[in-house]
Amino acid sequence: MRTNARRGSSGRTTTEEPVATTRTQRDPGSAPSMPKGLEPGDVIRDYRIAYRSRQVSTLARGEVMLGRAMFGIFGDGKEVAQVALARVFEPGDFRSGYYRDQTLMFALELLTVQQFFAQLYAHTDVEADPASAGRGMNAHFGTRLLDANGNWVSLTDSAQSSADSSPTGSQMPRLLGLAYASKLYRNLPELHDLTEFSRNGNEIAFGTIGNASCAEGVFWETVNAAGVMQVPMLLSVWDDGYGISVPNELQVTKSDISVLLQGFARTPGKSDGYELARVRGWDYSALLDTYARVSRVVRRDHVPGAVHVTELTQPQGHSTSGSHERYKSKERLEWEREHDCISRMRAWMIEQGIATSAQLDALEEEESTGVRAARDAAWNAYEDPIRAEAASVAGLLDELAPASGAAREKIEAMRDELQRRRDPLRRDVTAVARRALFVARNEDPSAGAALSEWLDALKPIDRDRYHTHLYAEGDDSALRVAANPPSYDEGAGEVDGYKVVNACFDAALKRDPRVLAFGEDVGKLGDVNQGFVDLQARYGELRVSDAGIRECTIVGQAIGLAMRGLRPIAEIQYLDYLLYALQILSDDLATLRYRTAGGQKAPVIVRTRGHRLVGVWHSGSPMGMVLHALRGMHVLVPRDMTRAAGFYNTLLQSGDPAIVVEVLNAYRVKERLPSNIGTMTVPLGVPEVLREGNDVTLVTYGACCPIAMEAARLLQESANVSVEVIDVQSLMPFDVHSMIVESLKKTSRVLFLDEDVPGGAGAFMMNEVLERQGGFHWLDAAPRSLTGAEHRPAYGRDGDYWSKPGVEDVCDAALALMRE
């Protein structure tokens, strides 16, 4: 490995060229000097936090080795850069980062040591682990942006952190939106009153990312978009030379991210590009200078900045899984020891006369003791209730055993085994209780009653621990928005469908200054189907905007905006191209509320269009894929533009993210324009019966609705078969009042129709109706589904005919059902 040899021999990277570098190297002969604006006490505080954080890493690793936690990944080797970075944070600023940032979080007072350990143990109490209530992994940080009722707290009282996720680079798309929000808050006067979210857009969105994660596509997509949009984003790259075992040579061209970023550098006098810097991660005073300089420009001028922090180390290796001795050379390991940022900062402080060695020894002693105490407090808070549960179950097993006949010995063995466990897990306790009831099931039923009761009492508690907050549960829930049907002025004529959504968006933009829309061709053109036509001219380029071709960061832009209180409608031009954004929708947006146990939300509306057009890449209807990847979002499939408008109005009154798939070929179909277009709502999870019938229930949605209706007409006319056509409208949530099963009670036959692949959304609907709603009991014939072909559709109208179900297919399938 070239890096190893090079660093091992010279002790520094040979690629280190002065790339807009700010370095303060003290002349050994000169008088000791303090970093600008700091007192010795400030520096000592920074050292204290850095040292504390290192102790946390060391002890936390020990906890994993002891088996008290599953996995550990820590911020050792990155401490000094982070205390320096913390110095430029201001209230209202946001972080979007990754698992190395514990020191930054400590320094910003957004995390305590006890909370760090609580998360390591997966403590499910939100008070113990406010970032995730044990749901996120260790070192997945985040602040609580919502109160217990799901309402925003003031985000400008302190710095905030968006909630981390694990996929490398996935902090980047949302970072773009967090930064872009400042631009909107600064430049849209109608937002200036929203001071709980922003103070005139003065907030910076700070990103952190590892050197190796800069090899991800999403890194470059975000860096480019932030440069185009000129947003106040300040990105730090923590460069420790590796991504697990793979060195920079195999991650980025020329092994050096700041060399590559040079093309993004600002040219003085020009209004685009980045403020760049490069600084060594053990050089405290240079780090302070660099962050002070770059953040000043970013905050004042709304220019993106990037700081490449080099020469960082990993004293304990990448994580608790595996050891870095396996892939780093002796020389490299020696180099890392020499460049340990904490030892260097300590030496520098002594050299500068900021503290004496004895003072620092005492400080370190204090911190070691403090971290131990916090660890123990976290452990006891986590484990004591579980021990108490184990004791209760052991007592109940004591009672059960004598009444369990042949199972007695087995149950006593289980009890003994449970009592022997020093640090029982909650699952151990519950599993033993359930197993004991299982083995004793044939004995006197009253014997197990107490244990059963104990388990039953636990069910709602375990639901709270593990199953809440996938969707909003309070006033924010879209399910609470009442239906408000469209009404029509007398004599209201018909218009092209696109004019219906256009009127809806017009009303929303007028009503609420937080609503904004963007996407490819959304601004000037008003989207490729004219849903936003004329609205940029009416509301300005910041409210209705064009975006580059970058689906993933269009979604990220929306996530960050929504996290800062805005109401973005992000457009993905065609459903087929959602795939580029699917990862971030799935990993970040759809998990956000769940992974923070209700601490954060991003009510993003993704607007797209699909079903039926032409060919392999323009006619997809991969609704199964969407449903399977996006639990945590609502998935809505309106058959026409009036229904679409109703869904937008519903969603804008609620706090969950959603995707609305409009029907591509409905924009030119005539619809009447509702007179209440700005207020009408379509409720989520409520299907609509489009045609009543007695023989077959036909369950479908979207572009298949007109096909179903035409088939139903033909079947009645030519075969005297009466078909009940139900438009599901809302796939997630799905038929919350179980209306469809009521139709099955009447018809005893069901056909599920859609354009997805076999086993896709059709299978999902079948599962919902037959299993969850109990529809199976009412059937006299085997349930059927009629789907698209397994392949993507062939091109052209004929390709479409043979790739997707049509009217004749529906007629055949219904007749076959009738013949059974």
Ligand X SMILES: Cc1ncc(C[n+]2csc(CCOP(=O)(O)OP(=O)(O)O)c2C)c(N)n1
Give the residue numbers marked as catalytic: 618
Residue 341 in tokens: 């940022």
Total residues binding Mg ion (CB under 5 A): 5
Does residue 240 interact with Mg ion by CB under 5 A?
yes
Minimum CB separation of residue 159 from ligand X in Å reads 21
Give the end-to-end CA distance of the chain in Å, rounded to a whole number: 70
For the beta carbon of residue 722, count every other beta carbon within 10 angstroms.
16
Question: 3-class DSSP state for residue 269?
Answer: coil
**Member of 219, 242, 284, 667 binding ligand X (CB under 6 A):** 242
Does residue 141 interact with ligand X by CB under 6 A?
no
> Which residue is it, tokens 């179980």?
738
601: left (phi over 0), alpha (psi -120 to 50) or beta: beta
Contact 517, 507 (CB under 8 A): no
Long-range interactions of 28-36: CB distance < 8 A, separation 24+: 32/351, 32/352, 32/353, 32/354, 33/352, 34/352, 34/354, 35/284, 35/285, 35/288, 35/289, 36/288, 36/289, 36/292
Does residue 324 interact with ligand X by CB under 6 A?
no
- DSSP assignments along 614-650, one per residue: SSTTTS---HHHHHHH-BTBEEE--SSHHHHHHHHHH
**Member of 115, 168, 202, 230 binding ligand X (CB under 6 A):** 168
Does residue 240 interact with ligand X by CB under 6 A?
yes
Minimum CB separation of residue 244 from ligand X in Å reads 5
Minimum CB separation of residue 293 from Mg ion in Å reads 25
Nearer residue to ligand X within complex by CB, 167 or 395: 167
Does residue 260 interact with ligand X by CB under 6 A?
no
Q: Which of 674, 606, 607, 688 shows the shortest CA–CA distance to 646? A: 674
**Member of 97, 150, 201, 210 binding Mg ion (CB under 5 A):** 210
Burial of 690 (0-12, 13-18, 19+ CB in 10 A): middle
Minimum CB separation of residue 213 from ligand X in Å reads 3
Q: Which residues contact 751 (CB under 8 A, 6 or more apart)?
A: 696, 697, 698, 699, 783, 784, 785, 786, 810, 813, 814, 817
Q: Which residues contact 465 (CB under 8 A, 6 or more apart)?
A: 124, 133, 134
Does residue 238 interact with ligand X by CB under 6 A?
yes
C-alpha Rg value of the chain to the nearest Å: 30
Q: Which residues contact 409 (CB under 8 A, 6 or more apart)?
A: none
Does residue 695 interact with Mg ion by CB under 5 A?
no
Here's the x/- map for ligand X, 173-212, by CB under 6 A: it reads as: -------------------------------------xxx
Does residue 243 interact with ligand X by CB under 6 A?
yes
Q: What share of the chain is helix, strand, coil (3-state, %, to 5)?
A: 45, 10, 40
Minimum CB separation of residue 753 from Mg ion in Å reads 50
For the beta carbon of residue 463, count every other beta carbon within 10 angstroms.
10
Nearer residue to ligand X within complex by CB, 243 or 304: 243
615: left (phi over 0), alpha (psi -120 to 50) or beta: left
Within residues 117-156, the interface with Mg ion by CB under 5 A covers: none
Minimum CB separation of residue 238 from Mg ion in Å reads 7
Does residue 315 interact with Mg ion by CB under 5 A?
no
Does residue 166 interact with ligand X by CB under 6 A?
yes
With CB under 6 A as the contact rule, which of the stretches 120-128, 129-137, 238-246, 446-454 interacts with ligand X?
Answer: 238-246
Residue nearest to ligand X as judged by C-beta position: 210
Does residue 211 interact with Mg ion by CB under 5 A?
yes
Q: Which residues contact 18 (CB under 8 A, 6 or more apart)?
A: 278
Nearer residue to ligand X within complex by CB, 318 or 593: 318
Minimum CB separation of residue 307 from Mg ion in Å reads 15
Nearer residue to ligand X within complex by CB, 169 or 610: 169
Per DSSP bridges, beta strands 730-732 and 688-691 are unpaired
Does residue 608 interact with Mg ion by CB under 5 A?
no
Question: 3-class DSSP state for residue 32?
Answer: coil
> Which residue is it, tokens 């070192």?
139
Decide which of Mg ion, ligand X, none touches 608; Cβ closer than 5 to 8 Å per partner kind.
none
With CB under 6 A as the contact rule, which of the stretches 45-53, 59-67, 163-171, 179-187 interacts with ligand X?
Answer: 163-171
**Member of 100, 278, 346, 611 binding ligand X (CB under 6 A):** 100
Residue 135 in tokens: 């749901």
Minimum CB separation of residue 75 from ligand X in Å reads 9
Question: What are the E-state strand segments in 219-371?
Answer: 233-238, 242-243, 246-247, 275-280, 305-310
Burial of 377 (0-12, 13-18, 19+ CB in 10 A): middle
Minimum CB separation of residue 739 from ligand X in Å reads 41
Residue nearest to Mg ion as judged by C-beta position: 210
Nearer residue to ligand X within complex by CB, 236 or 529: 236
Nearer residue to ligand X within complex by CB, 101 or 756: 101
Decide which of ligand X, Mg ion, none touches 168; Cβ closer than 5 to 8 Å per partner kind.
ligand X
Nearer residue to Mg ion within complex by CB, 211 or 743: 211
**Member of 62, 91, 167, 370 binding ligand X (CB under 6 A):** 167
Total residues binding ligand X (CB under 6 A): 14
- Residues engaged in binding ligand X (CB under 6 A): 100, 166-168, 210-213, 238, 240, 242-244, 318
- Residues engaged in binding Mg ion (CB under 5 A): 210-212, 240, 242
